[in-house]
Chains A and B, each alone.
Chain A
Amino acid sequence: MRRPMLDRRSLLSLGVGAGASLALPRGLSADTGKTYKILMLTFRGETDVERGFRDLLDTAGLKTEIISRDARRDIANLPSMIADLATLKPDLIYTWGTPLTLGVAGPFDSTDPKFIRDIPVVFALVAAPVQARIAPSFAAPGRNVTGAVHVVPTDVQMKAMQSFMDFSTVGILYSTSEQNSDVIVREVKAFCDGMGAKVLARPFKNDASGRPTAEGVEDMVAQLRADKADWLYLLPDTFLGTIYDRVTPAALAAGLPTFGAAELAIREGGALVGLVSRYYSVGQLAGTKAVEILARGTPASKIPIETLKRFSLIINMRIAKSLGIYPPIAMLNYAELVTG
């Protein structure tokens, strides 16, 4: 069987919902003279996301005054960060991640007055805004919130995995306590059913308080390999993210290639390959939303929440060499090779 050859464009645009064109609207770069005040709320300092956001506003020719405040990785700091909103009067609030966004804007169906409903909020790096009840749907947020989602659709990830190396069985380790993981496991199963492949989804063991533990993960990985898994898919599971250092060495020892859903999994977590949204590009995407709100006056409620149109393939060559599993040569045309 010939492995499906996908070029970067077709691979990376698979399964992505069609959205409005993201090209900068014409005439937007005109100097409108007004300086817009943006309150930027970050969770762990400024990252590439914010760089992309700022770069896009600059490119669009918007004059902005950005007030940046950081939660220092603690959501409890949020109230103090937005205490002076009444005097600050920002034209737009930028938020990083689900906790900050939810903390600022609240669920869409909440009537709690502490949530902000009169200032447009543009988020970046929220994985599942609908599940988190930030907005009722991607296409029409219907409220003062819109933004950029960074997760890569599951089926697009599966296709990338297949392009790297075809498979008949894929192994997954996940936490039963995480609703999001549950959804993704189901999506993986749906995709694999379509291509006639098997999914071995094994939950982590829970401790007495019902929280997942890393106990015996090495054996679980070895068992997946023994059960003929061709890939270990590292889904975006919060708990899994904390134990990469135990999972990937076990996979490497078992000769099991790993496909990571999060960028960190490949760069630092020892996964072989992954398809990710570039943080910089996610920031740019959020930037286009801000430009549309500020310069064009489109209400946030009418601007769809979107994912990127293209994603990036990252291959860890150190892992590839250890496993002796190399990417198809055509992938080198569009993959980023790291040696972390």
Chain B
Amino acid sequence: MTRTTAVLIALFAMIAAACVAFGAYFAYATLLNANRAAVEARFAITAQRIGATAELASGLGIALPAQQTLPDLLRREARIDTAIRAIDVADERGHVLFSSDPDRAGRDEPAHPADSVSRVMENDLEARIGRVIVHYDPVILAAGAEALAADLRFIAIPTLAAAALATIAVGLLLAASLRRSLRRAADPGSWPEPARAALASVDAAHAAVLKRDASPAGGRP
């Protein structure tokens, strides 16, 4: 039983620790998402501004590839915010038509490039004509992630240890109490009150039957 108890307490301590670790990690993931959303909201405003301009021009009959004023606009917008790496305008197939970074023009962008915010542009027929993609510097996300991780680690590791230790402590206390009760249970004289009462009633009943018979058998085992 001692071994079983030890294993049990260890398992429970592990569950407590794992559960705290799980909670901390998922809290981290949640905060990370919130941080990303807040960061991206900022770049979405830029994407919106550029997209509206390009849609206006396309309504005037200037097809997206022919909007030669866009590169200037993209460069200007990209310069304003140092966290922006590049702003692309891609056609509906993801082919980059213009970019604040001249090297990027002519590339093909995936549907959901990492570390970017997109806004779809439509023409007056509400058909997609392309996307504005604001690529931001992942460093600002990474810096946020690092700060969040550090802050959470600072709390989580001591908490995790404390939870495990507290579980072990409670387990040991309970085990000691169980052991004590067991030891007492070995001797009917130290049984808990209800058990002693039951035993007394049984003894009385047995005594009544066996005494009448005056048989030598019986008595207390």
Q: Which residues of A contact B (CB under 8 A)?
A: 8, 13, 21-24, 48, 51-52, 55, 277-281, 284-285, 288, 308-312, 333-334, 336
Contacts and interface: CB of A to CB of B under 8 A. Distances in A.
Interface of B is mostly: loop
Interface in B79-134: 122-128
Given A22-B125, A23-B127, A281-B125, 7 more contacts: A21-B126, A22-B126, A51-B61, A55-B63, A278-B59, A309-B126, A336-B60
The residue among B52, B63, B122, B127 with the most chain A CB atoms within 10 A of its own CB is: B127
For the complex of A and B, 6 pairs with smallest distance between CB atoms: A280-B61, A281-B124, A22-B125, A23-B127, A309-B126, A310-B124
Interface of B: 52, 55-56, 59-61, 63, 122-128
A278 B127 contact: no
Contact of A22 (B52, B56, B63, B127): B127
B123 A281 contact: yes
Contact of A284 (B52, B55, B123): B123
Contact of B124 (A55, A308, A333): A308
The residue among A285, A288, A310 with the most chain B CB atoms within 10 A of its own CB is: A310
Contacts of A278: 59-61, 124
Nearest to A24: B127
Given A8-B52, A334-B52, A309 B61 contact: no
Given A333-B52, A334-B52, A281 B127 contact: no
Contacts of A52: 61
16 contacts: A13-B126, A22-B125, A23-B127, A24-B127, A48-B61, A55-B63, A278-B59, A281-B59, A281-B123, A284-B125, A308-B124, A310-B123, A310-B124, A310-B126, A312-B60, A312-B124
Contacts of A284: 123-125
Contacts of A23: 125-128
A68 B63 CA distance: 23
A334 B127 CA distance: 18
Nearest to B63: A55
Contact of A334 (B56, B63, B125, B126): B56
Contacts of B63: 55
Contact of A312 (B59, B125, B127): B59
B129 to A, nearest CB: 10
A318 B78 CA distance: 33
B153 to A, nearest CB: 44
B16 to A, nearest CB: 52
Given A52-B61, A55-B63, A336 B127 contact: no
A58 B63 CA distance: 12
Contacts of A24: 127
Contacts of B125: 22-23, 281, 284-285, 288, 308-309
Contacts of B126: 13, 21-23, 309-310
Nearest to B57: A336
A228 B25 CA distance: 67
Contacts of A312: 56, 59-60, 124
A311 B124 contact: yes
B47 to A, nearest CB: 14
A312 B55 CA distance: 11
Contacts of A311: 124
B103 to A, nearest CB: 27
Contacts of B122: 310
A255 to B, nearest CB: 30
A284 to B, nearest CB: 6
A55 B124 CA distance: 14
A274 B60 CA distance: 15
Contacts of B52: 8, 333-334
A338 to B, nearest CB: 11
A329 B60 CA distance: 21
A333 B127 CA distance: 20
A54 to B, nearest CB: 11
Nearest to A49: B61
Contacts of A308: 124-125
A62 to B, nearest CB: 16
A48 B127 CA distance: 19
A334 B55 CA distance: 9
Contacts of A281: 59, 61, 123-125
Contacts of A288: 125
B56 A336 contact: yes
A308 B60 CA distance: 14
Contacts of B127: 21-24
